[in-house]
Amino acid sequence: MNAEGRSVRPLLFLDVDGPLIPFGGPGPSYSVGPEGAPVEANPLLARVDPAVGRRLAALGYELVWATTWGEEANECIAPRIGLPPLRVIPWPEPSEVEERDVLAGRHWKTRPIVAWAAGRAFAWVDDEITRADRAWVAAHHQGPALLHQINPRVGLTADDLDVLAAWTEALGDTA
C-alpha cells in the first residue's frame, strides 16, 4: 500500500536480449506482428514472440525496461509485442563501483535496479542473473524481490510467466 492506502503493483524489470530475443539456434520466427520496426531493420526482431506482450501485461506488474536497448525498446520491441511505451531505467556511466560488482560476480545492472525500485516489490527477468545478484539484493533491498534467470537459448517461456504470476499472486497486498 502507498501513503494514500492504494495497492502498488510490483515492478517487473525486463531485459530484451535473451528473455525477449532468444539466442538459441533456429527457433520460431515471427515475421508478422503488431506494429514496430520492420524485421529487416534488425533480423533479431524476428525472434520476438508478438504474443508475449499480452501475457506480460496480464501479469499485473508495472512493466519497466531494464535493457541496454534503452528507449529503442519502446520504439522497436513494445509496438511489436503490443505494449505501450514503458519507463526505461537509465543506466549510469561505467564506474569503479560497477567494476567491483562485476569482479564480485554481480551483474552491473543489479545495483541500479535496486536503487530504481526504491524499496518496492520487484521481479527482474534477465539471462545473466547470478547467485551473487540474489545475495546482494537480499542484503540491500527492503522489499520483496524475485530475480528470475531466463534461459537465453529459448527466451521467456510459459513456465517463466507462470513463475512470475505465482510470485505476484503470493505477494497479495504486501507489495
The span from the CA of 39 to the CA of 141, in Å, is 39
Residue with cell 537509465: 90
Helix (H, G, I), strand (E, B) or coil at 135: helix
pLDDT for the residue numbered 5: 47
Q: What band does 44 get if pLDDT is binned at 50, 70 and 90?
A: confident
pTM of the model: 0.88
> Amino acid identity, residue 105?
G
Backbone angles phi, psi at 13, to 5 degrees: -85, 125
Query: pLDDT by residue (tens digit) across 62-121?
Result: 999 999 999 999 999 999 999 999 999 999 888 898 889 888 999 999 999 999 999 999
Report DSSP letters for 11-36, one per residue: EEEE--BTTTB--SSS-------SSS
* Strands lying side by side in the sheet with 145-149: 87-88, 62-65, 11-14, 122-126, 145-149
Neighbours of 174 (CB within 10 A): 11
